[in-house]
Amino acid sequence: MNQSLKDQVAIIVGSSSGMGKATAVTFVEAGAKVVLAARRQTELESLASELGENAISCPTDIQDAEQVEKLIEFTLVHFGRIDILVYVTGTNIPNRSLEILSDQTWDMMIQTNLTGAFYCTKSVLPAMRQQEKGLIIYISSAAVPFPDTSGVSYQASKHGLVGLAHGTFKEEKENGIRTSMIFPGLTDTPLVLQRPVPTPPETVAKALQPQDVADTCLFVASLPERTYIPELVLMPAKLA
């Protein structure tokens, strides 16, 4: 790695489980100060206790713009700056086909997977502009470059992240702000349990692990500020 994360401040949105939890642990181990954000307070506090003084929890519902603003303020009060924001939050539902997808479920999917990312991006930019540096990493899905049957609401929201990331970079690059999209393939996380048909255990055994995604985030975050990774596809080798 060309750049240490020592003393850098990162917000990991969605850090109560899965990829987000693994990313939070990995960043702390790499020397970063990490703010853990998710809705589940008990899980966040347990993880913060486990990670020690360089991790603090801030329970946040990213569907609420005011709570997102408070997350950014909380981080600045405690650590004085924000160098990295990783948006790992995402969800899906079993009833995902167009035949049964409801308007309410569509709205929930867009709000969680995309609008929350917009709230986080919009709220963190002023601090990053003032610093004249910052990195935002968005975790999307391999369903973007390789469309599948994960559902139109899931795919539309994950495609939307791409527009948010690239548009933000084009507007903010002169302020030293970079964005990166990571597209993980099948990963062994609780989201797999949301599939309408259970994934066979022998397939899950070949999937990526949350740590693989965390290590990829660390790789992107550790590169020099002169570098820019617009997109990175991460696939399980035996399922590619």
- Residues catalogued as catalytic: 154
Query: 219 CB contacts (<8 Å, ≥6 apart)?
Result: 1
User: What is the distance between the alpha carbons of residues 38 and 32, in angstroms, rounded to a whole number?
Assistant: 18
> Rounded to the nearest 5°, which phi and psi values hold at 126?
-55, -40
Reduced to 3 states (helix: H, G, I; strand: E, B; else coil), residue 143 is coil
User: What is the distance between the alpha carbons of residues 57 and 43, in angstroms, rounded to a whole number?
Assistant: 9
Query: 83 CB contacts (<8 Å, ≥6 apart)?
Result: 8, 9, 10, 32, 131, 133, 134, 135
User: What is the distance between the alpha carbons of residues 92 and 101, in angstroms, rounded to a whole number?
Assistant: 12
Number of helices (H), then strands (E), belonging to the chain: the values are 8, 7
